[in-house]
Structure 1
Amino acid sequence: MTQSIKLTSLSTKGGCGCKIGPADLAQVIRMLPPAAPDPNLLVGLDTSDDAGVYRLNDEMALVQTLDFFTPIVDDPYSFGQVAAANAISDIYAMGGKPLTALNIVAFPIAVLEKEILADILRGAADKLKEAGATLVGGHSIEDKEPKFGLAVTGLVHPDKVRANTGAKPGDKLILTKPIGVGILTSSIKKGLLTDEEIERVTAVMATLNKTAAETMDSYDVHACTDVTGFGLLGHSSEMAKGSSAGLRIFSDQVPVLERARELAEKGVIPGGTRNNFAHLVGSVTFPEAMDEIDQLILCDAVTSGGLLISVSGEEAEALFGELKSAGVEAAIIGEVTEENPGHITVI
C-alpha cells in the first residue's frame, strides 16, 4: 500500500499554472534567431499554436507536442490521467489523431514510495489506451519536486490541420469544457474543496478532447485551440491576433465550474491567472460593470481545458447540438468579427 501523501503539497504551483508566464516567455522567444525556413513545416513557432505540424507527403503530416507539469491533484493515478489528457489535447486541437507517446518523469525516488510513481504511470497509460495511442518509452530523472507529462506524436492530413490562425468574421466560438479549473485546483492545496468537488474538477481535467475533436471533424471549422495555462482570454487573444480578426466573448455564456467565483472572492486566485490578466492589458476590453473577479475568472489558468472552436456561423448550432448529444459540456460563447482585429471585446 502506498503512503498517504498530498502530492500537491510537494510543489509551489500545480498543473498548467506552473507555466512560464506569456509575457516572460515572449521576451525569451524574441531573443532567439528565426528558424531556418522549411516548406514542409506547416505550423511552427511563429503562431503560438498548440503543436508543431510537419508534412511528410501530400497525404500525411506529423503533429508533435510536449507537455509536463507539477501535481495538480493529490491522487497519483488521477494526476497521471490529467497529465496525459492535457498533453494529448494538443494533438486534438490541431485536428490530428494521437499515435505514440513518450513519458517525461521527474521524481524524488529516494523519498516517495515507488508505488506512487507506478500509479502515476498507470493513470497515464490508461488514458493513452482510451485515446488509442501507444506508449513507446520515456525518460526519467531524480528531482526533489515531482513532475510528469508526455511528448505525443499524432497524424493529420496536411489539408485538415486546425491551426489557431484561421478564424473568420461570421464564425461562432464554441468552448467544450468549463473554466475555473485553476481556482478550484488551487483550492485543493488549501483544503477548501469537498471530495465531490475534487472529483468534479478532476473528471473535467481527465476527460479527453477526443469526442469533441472527432465531432468537429465533419464541420467547417476555421480555427481551433485548446484552453490551458494562458486561460480562455489568453488563448482567445492568440486566435484573434493570429487570425487578424476581432473576437466578442459573451461572458454570461461561458461555462464556469461551480464555486469558482465564491473561492476567487476569498482570495484563491492562482499566480498564473494574475499573470494572464496583466499580460492582456490593452488586448481585451471589459464591460465597465464587470468586476475584477469575473475578469480574472475569464483569465484563469486552466489545466487540460476544452477546445475553443471557431466554426462557420451557419454550422455552429448543428455542431453545438451534436457536441451536446455526445455528452460534451459545450457552449457557444462568442463570435468572430471584422472590427478591432487582434482585439477581444467581452460583452
Structure 2
Amino acid sequence: MSTETGTYRLTQYAHGGGCACKIPPGELESVLAGLLGGPVDDDLLVGLETGDDAAVVRLSADLAVVATADFFTPVVDDPYDWGRIAVANALSDVYAMGGRPLVGVNLLAWPRDVLPFELAKEVLRGGLDVAREAHCHVGGGHSIDDAEPKYGMAVTGVVDPDRLLRNDAGVAGDPLSLSKRLGLGVLNNRHKQTGEVFPDAIAAMTALNQVASQAALAAGARCATDITGFGLLGHVAKLARASGVTAVIDAPAVPYLDGARESATAGYVSGGTRRNLAWVRPRTDFGSLPEVEQLLLADAQTSGGLLVAAELPGCPVIGELVERAAYDVVVRG
C-alpha cells in the first residue's frame, strides 16, 4: 500500500494474521470450562456450552437477538481489503446462526505512532462498504492505541427462534455441504511471507455468507457453523461432539482454492494451523491420509464458508453425519 508517507505492508506489523491468531481451541476450552454451569435463563437460546458462533437471546415467541464480536490482525497488506475481510468475517457469525445482521460497531486497535492514520481510514472504509452490502447499519464503535493493528466488529442481528441454525442440532444421516473453498490460511501465510497477492482468496474472504445462510434455511437445515480459525476439522469436530454424532469427511470431495495445496506442500503453514491439527488429531481417524492433506483440512481459515448439515444448491457435499462412534471425525481418503 503506497501512501504519501511511504509504503507499508500491514501483515508485517503483527505476529500472525487473521483468524490464525485465535487462541488454540484446546486452551480456550479449558478456560471456558470453568465458566460453565449454574442457572441459565430459558431465554438464552445459545450461550457458552457448545462454543457456537454467536449468542442468541429470545425476545418474544417469534424474535430473538443474535450478538457476536470478531476482530483480528491484518490478514492482507491492503488496508481496504483487510477492512472488507474483517467485517465479512464478523457478519458471518450471524449468518451461521440463520440470522440477519442489523447493526455493527467498529473495533479498532491502531499503533498510532507507527502507522499513519490514513491507513486506518481505509480499513474502516472497507468495513463500511461490506456492511452496506449486507444492509447492516454501522453505528460508531471503539478504538484504542495498541502495539499491533487489529480490526473487526461487534454485530447484532435478529433471527426467528424456530428457524435457528446451531452447531448442536446435527442428526445422523445429514449430509455436510461447504459453501467456500478451503486453503485461505496457507495462501494468506504465503502472502505474508512473500508479498504475493491471491485475488481468488481475497474474493472468497470478502464474499458474504448471506446466500449460503438463506439456502440453508430454505433447505430446512437446523445445524450449521462457519469455518474460520479452527479450520474445517476443528469446527466440524465441535459440531459433531455438540450434536452427539460423528462427522465423516470425504477428503477428495473437499474443494480448495488454486495454489493452496502447492503452498501447503511448500511449507506455508501457519502456527495456528499446526495447533489446530494437534488438537483434532486425538479425536480424528485419519486412516492413511498424508500429513499435508491433514494440514489442509486443519488450515486456519479467515472469513471462510458455512458448513451446513443439508444439501445446498451449488455447494459440494463433502461428507455426512453418522451415529456416534469412537471419534468425533473420520476422514476418508
- 3-state secondary structure, aligned to 1:12: coil
- 3-state secondary structure, aligned to 2:223: strand
- 3-state secondary structure, aligned to 1:340: coil
Contact 2:250 2:319 in 1 (8 A): yes
- 3-state secondary structure, aligned to 2:281: coil
TM-score by length of 2: 0.96
Q: Look up the match of 1:17.
A: 20
- 3-state secondary structure, aligned to 2:70: strand
Structure 1 segment 79-94 matched on structure 2, within 5 A: 79-94=82-97
Output the CA distance in 1 between the equivalents of 2:38 and 2:92: 25
Q: Look up the match of 1:305.
A: 304
Letter in structure 1 aligned against 2:322 = T
Output the CA distance in 2 between the equivalents of 1:192 and 1:73: 9
Which of 172, 176, 179 is 2:175 aligned to?
172
Alignment: residue pair count: 329
In structure 2, do the counterparts of structure 1 residues 210 and 82 end up closer, same or farther at CA, with 3 Å as the change threshold?
same
- 3-state secondary structure, aligned to 2:309: strand
Q: Look up the match of 1:251.
A: 251
Contact 1:168 1:222 in 2 (8 A): no
Output the CA distance in 2 between the equivalents of 1:33 and 1:82: 32
Contact 1:242 1:342 in 2 (8 A): no
Output the CA distance in 2 between the equivalents of 1:35 and 1:307: 31
The answer to which of 33-42 and 279-288 deviates more is 33-42
* Displacement after TM superposition at 1:281 (Å): 2.2
1:337 aligns with 2:330: no
Contact 1:245 1:342 in 2 (8 A): no
* Displacement after TM superposition at 1:340 (Å): 1.1
In structure 2, do the counterparts of structure 1 residues 106 and 128 end up closer, same or farther at CA, with 3 Å as the change threshold?
same
Contact 2:70 2:89 in 1 (8 A): yes
TM-score by length of 1: 0.92
* Displacement after TM superposition at 1:192 (Å): 6.0
Q: Look up the match of 2:281.
A: 281
1:109 aligns with 2:112: yes
* Displacement after TM superposition at 1:15 (Å): 0.2
Structure 1 segment 114-129 matched on structure 2, within 5 A: 114-129=117-132
In structure 2, do the counterparts of structure 1 residues 20 and 112 end up closer, same or farther at CA, with 3 Å as the change threshold?
same
Output the CA distance in 1 between the equivalents of 2:227 and 2:88: 13
Contact 1:230 1:276 in 2 (8 A): yes
Output the CA distance in 2 between the equivalents of 1:45 and 1:307: 20
1:37 aligns with 2:36: no
The answer to which of 134-143 and 25-34 deviates more is 25-34
The answer to which of 150-159 and 110-119 deviates more is 110-119
Which of 137, 140, 155 is 1:137 aligned to?
140
Aligned CA RMSD, in angstroms, stands at 1.3
Which of 58, 76, 86 is 2:79 aligned to?
76
Output the CA distance in 1 between the equivalents of 2:68 and 2:331: 31
Letter in structure 1 aligned against 2:331 = V
Which runs of 5 or more structure 1 residues have no equivalent in the other structure?
325-329
Output the CA distance in 1 between the equivalents of 2:200 and 2:264: 18
Output the CA distance in 1 between the equivalents of 2:50 and 2:27: 17
- 3-state secondary structure, aligned to 1:124: helix
- 3-state secondary structure, aligned to 1:222: coil
Contact 1:240 1:342 in 2 (8 A): no
Q: Look up the match of 1:346.
A: 331
* Displacement after TM superposition at 1:214 (Å): 1.6
Which of 51, 55, 76 is 2:54 aligned to?
51
Which runs of 5 or more structure 2 residues have no equivalent in the other structure?
none
Output the CA distance in 1 between the equivalents of 2:282 and 2:13: 36
- 3-state secondary structure, aligned to 2:147: coil
* Displacement after TM superposition at 1:132 (Å): 0.7
* Displacement after TM superposition at 1:287 (Å): 2.2
In structure 2, do the counterparts of structure 1 residues 341 and 85 end up closer, same or farther at CA, with 3 Å as the change threshold?
farther
1:294 aligns with 2:305: no
